[in-house]
Amino acid sequence: MLIKDIYNFLDQLSPFSTQEKWDNSGLIVGSMKDSFEEVYISLDLDKQFLKTVKKGSLVITHHPLIFSGLKKINDDSYSTKLLKILIKKDIKLISMHTNIDKSHLNRYVMEKVLGFNCEVGEDFILTAVVNMSFKDLKKLVKEKLNLEYSKSVKCHKFIKNISLTTGSGMSLINDIKTDCFLTGDVKYHDAMEAKLQEISIIDIGHYESEKHFSPMVNDLLEKYLKKNKIQAIMGLNKNPFEYK
Dist CA 11 CA 107 (whole Å):
18
Average pLDDT, the chain: 95
Tell me whether domains 3-96 and 100-206 share a fold.
yes
On the question of pLDDT at 189 being above 90, the answer is yes
On the question of pLDDT at 123 being above 80, the answer is yes
Instruction: Give the pLDDT score at 122.
Output: 75
Q: Alpha carbon 171 to chain centroid distance?
A: 16
> Please, are residues 135 and 115 in contact by the beta-carbon 8 Å criterion?
no
On the question of pLDDT at 120 being above 80, the answer is no
Instruction: Give the pLDDT score at 235.
Output: 85
On the question of pLDDT at 236 being above 80, the answer is no
Residue among 137, 119, 115 nearest 128 (CA): 119
Confidence of residue 230 (pLDDT cuts 50, 70, 90): very high
**What does the domain layout of the chain look like in residue ranges?**
3-96, 100-206
Predicted confidence (pLDDT) per residue in 130-143, tens digit? 999 999 999 999 99
On the question of pLDDT at 57 being above 90, the answer is yes
Instruction: Give the pLDDT score at 121.
Output: 73
> Please, are residues 178 and 162 in contact by the beta-carbon 8 Å criterion?
yes
What is the arithmetic mean of pLDDT over 197-220? 97
Decide which of 3.30.980.10, 3.10.20.30, 3.40.1390.30, 3.20.20.70 is the CATH code for 100-206.
Answer: 3.40.1390.30
What is the arithmetic mean of pLDDT over 197-210? 97
What is the arithmetic mean of pLDDT over 193-217? 97
| CATH number at 3-96 | 3.40.1390.30
